[in-house]
Structure 1
């Protein structure tokens, strides 16, 4: 079963004088356990792609399926549920809450769904330990390095056991060594937890841990060969 599939997705933006095609009949299937990268210059359509894949933006044409369920006809309330329960986001900046400890950064995600149980606390602790943060659970963001903060963000994205992980330039603010480490950790967690993952990046050094690589230019998506 595929984790996420985009079928012939087109996104047009119109104003009174012209029409811009941000995505042009894009199709992509990412199965569980696969880690796919999309590369391309600024303005190529990467952000639009990610917004549509993440149920934040509706396509003008085409369809997005998550676990073989079409999401274009869902209500805004249902889409919010999809974003909370089926999609984990990793952003350029870790976006941690300054006054919460590392452990509480994960528990606040769970709190959106209901009560925090001891079992969920254990899940959060295990996720953080798996990412090398077992001794940082009570630390605050300002006590962490940039790489550690991004690892907390990775752990947070897996906290609700989503079907799909979407990473938007997750290495943008890291030095090369920390960037490699972060991508390797994402790849490891995606495969061990059997998630479908897409990473959008302009950094072509970060591709060796990906199963497939696609290039997007002028809204057109093509698979790169022999990467």
Structure 2
């Protein structure tokens, strides 16, 4: 069975008056365990639709989406909800932390959504936060954290259910250069060490050096960008 995320000939149509517009046009991509890929492209190119379909938030009009070898294209809304909770970790532009929950509880609320919180869940959450440099912040509220600390909390939250796929949507949008490198470097480290299949949609070309492959999205079509010898990217 093929692990990770595979999309094959995925197309998404939207109705616009009497016309049918293809937001995604026969997109194919395969991301395996331990692989960190980036998708770049201008606004309106189809990146958001692509990420929504990869994250089981939206169904494709045509084509197949496979997660760990299972075709999720035909699942019900409830089944897709379970897939999102157990198999996919999301890291968004803004950390989307719950204002009244401390850092530890930001992770435990995700565990609570999938059942009762056990002692080993609390231990794993604390260990994860320690690993991401937040060991002294377990009881801190979001308003007491820096932008980088908020995003590190979001990374930990994405990993708490031990999902197979990590999807990051512009994770450096609100960060300065130093914090941006820190956050994407951490994502790359966790992807490699925990053998996750990860996709980052970004406008931030400074961050592409952390990625194994870079794809370009334009007019709903996805193509592999050329990597230069210096690991720069021609996009």
Report the TM range for the smaller structure's normalisation. over 0.9
Query: Secondary structure at 2:155's aligned position in 1?
Result: helix
Provide structure 2 residue ranges, at least 5 long, that are not aligned to the other structure. 228-232
If the length of structure 1 is used for normalisation, what is the TM-score?
0.99
Partner of 1:216: 217
Say if 2:152 is the partner of 1:151: yes
Say if 2:103 is the partner of 1:102: yes
If the length of structure 2 is used for normalisation, what is the TM-score?
0.95
Query: Secondary structure at 1:208's aligned position in 2?
Result: helix
Alignment of 1:160-179 (within 5 A): 160-179=161-180
Say if 2:165 is the partner of 1:136: no
Partner of 1:77: 78
Conservation of the 8 A alpha-carbon contact between 1:2 and 1:29 = no
Partner of 1:126: 127
Alignment of 1:10-89 (within 5 A): 10-89=11-90
- Report the Cα distance in structure 2 between the residues aligned to 1:120 and 1:195, rounded to whole angstroms: 19
Provide structure 1 residue ranges, at least 5 long, that are not aligned to the other structure. none
- Report the Cα distance in structure 2 between the residues aligned to 1:61 and 1:2, rounded to whole angstroms: 22
Deviations 1:101-154 (A, max 9, x none): 100000000001111111000000011011100010011100000010000000
Deviations 1:181-218 (A, max 9, x none): 11000000011011000000011111001000000000
Partner of 2:230: none
**Cα deviation, residue 16, structure 1:** 2.6
- Report the Cα distance in structure 2 between the residues aligned to 1:208 and 1:141, rounded to whole angstroms: 29
Deviations 1:18-66 (A, max 9, x none): 2211111000000000000000010000000000000011111001000
